[in-house]
Amino acid sequence: MFHTKRIEAEAETCCKANALTSVEQITANLKVFKALAAMDQSSVEAKRREAFKAKIADIEKHLSLKDTIWAHEAVTNTRFVHDNIRPTKPLSFINCGEGGLGWSGGAALGIKLASDAEAGGEGKGKFVAQIAGDETYLFSVPGSVSWISQRYKIPVLTIALNNKGIC
């Protein structure tokens, strides 16, 4: 036997709407959004590229694909990322596959520490970059990773790919 409890609450506002007017207003707004979506976004993109030009140049100055260790966790983009990085040195492209989402943030920190230790001290190791899809990036608890990186001066580059939440 099921028992139900009725919960009543007073509404802040009670409105009456004409169904036809509501549908017309919604349709008009959808047309505006479609028009905005169809607009040429190239000028917006050009401004964005210009704004990030200096930042990208600074990253490129420190980044050498041949001397970088990649902690790769872009699961659905593995082939794309691998084909563009084209790692040639053993242990320069570290990937755990699909078995442990969220590992790359902490792993990148550990890889950097190990690389520095192997090279003889802080800041002497290879450049380390973490590449993750947007969901796996969140699984790695980026707030903690960033805090640890800042607190203990462990520099790593994090690249989060926007693949609409598909790891």
Here the CATH number for the domain that contains residue 79 is: 3.40.50.970
Determine the average pLDDT of the residues in 135-142. Answer: 89
**Same domain, residue pair 132 and 78:** yes
- The pTM (predicted TM-score) of the whole model is 0.62
Q: What pLDDT does 46 receive?
A: 79
Spatial separation of the C-alpha atoms in residues 93 and 70, rounded to whole Å: 5
**Same domain, residue pair 89 and 140:** yes
Task: Please check whether residue 8 lies inside any domain of the structure.
Answer: no
Q: 102: which 2 tokens? A: 């969220």
Q: What pLDDT does 48 receive?
A: 74
30, 66, 113, 120, 133 from 123: Cα distances, Å:
54, 18, 9, 9, 27
Determine the average pLDDT of the residues in 72-93. Answer: 84
In the beta sheet, which residues pair with residue 95? Answer: 72
**Same domain, residue pair 47 and 125:** no
In angstroms and rounded to an integer, the radius of gyration of the C-alpha atoms of the chain is 24
Domain region containing 122:
63-161
Spatial separation of the C-alpha atoms in residues 66 and 19, rounded to whole Å: 63
**Same domain, residue pair 81 and 151:** yes
What whole-number percentage of the chain has pLDDT above 70? 81
Q: Is the pLDDT of residue 110 over 60?
A: yes
